[in-house]
Amino acid sequence: MMNKLTMPLPIILIGLSLFLFTGCILFNIDPPNKYYLEKYYNSSSKEVTIIMKNSTTSKIIKSFSIRQGKEEDGLYSGREFSGGDEPIKGYVNDFERGDVSKIELYVADVLVKEWIAPSGNFGSEINSPYNYDSWRVETLKPTGKNIVGKIVFTITDEDIE
């Protein structure tokens, strides 16, 4: 009787120790962060320039031009950002944390539009980088860096009029 019990005992102990050292840890692992790219798409009929500024100091934080029908990186300059479950809110709120409190839109060196913080949900009739409702999320096939999508702000002909 004792021989029958001692034979499976090491197997049981090994199984339990594997569960304790690996099984319990599996329940504590956080899911990987979701990363996103941010893009500004120019659907207008002219080339535009976007200048992101601090409104109190007038310091330029970022400046870039976008040809018609093209998209460009914004604040993160081609790097991904951790978007979590609400990537648009996370990105737009980064403006204020990064001192971007004013965004200017130029056509041929002429200021045509100025967007100013604060950010929030202002409805689909107001097109502004500070308006969460003006952005859209496009899903991507996840990459090795777990980039799962991009958020896109579209500049329209109404913005440059």
Q: In Å, what is the CA distance from 47 to each residue of 68, 94, 108, 127, 144?
A: 5, 26, 8, 18, 34
Q: How many CB atoms lie within 10 A of CB 78?
A: 9
Taking residues 105-134, what's their average pLDDT? 95
Residue pair 123/13 in contact by the 8 Å Cβ criterion: no
CA distance 160 to 153: 14
The share of the chain scoring above pLDDT 70, in percent, equals 81
What pTM did the predictor assign?
0.78
Query: pLDDT tens across 78-105, in order?
Result: 788 887 789 999 999 888 777 899 999 9
Query: pLDDT tens across 38-77, in order?
Result: 999 999 999 999 999 988 888 999 999 999 999 999 888 7
Q: What is the pLDDT at residue 48?
A: 97
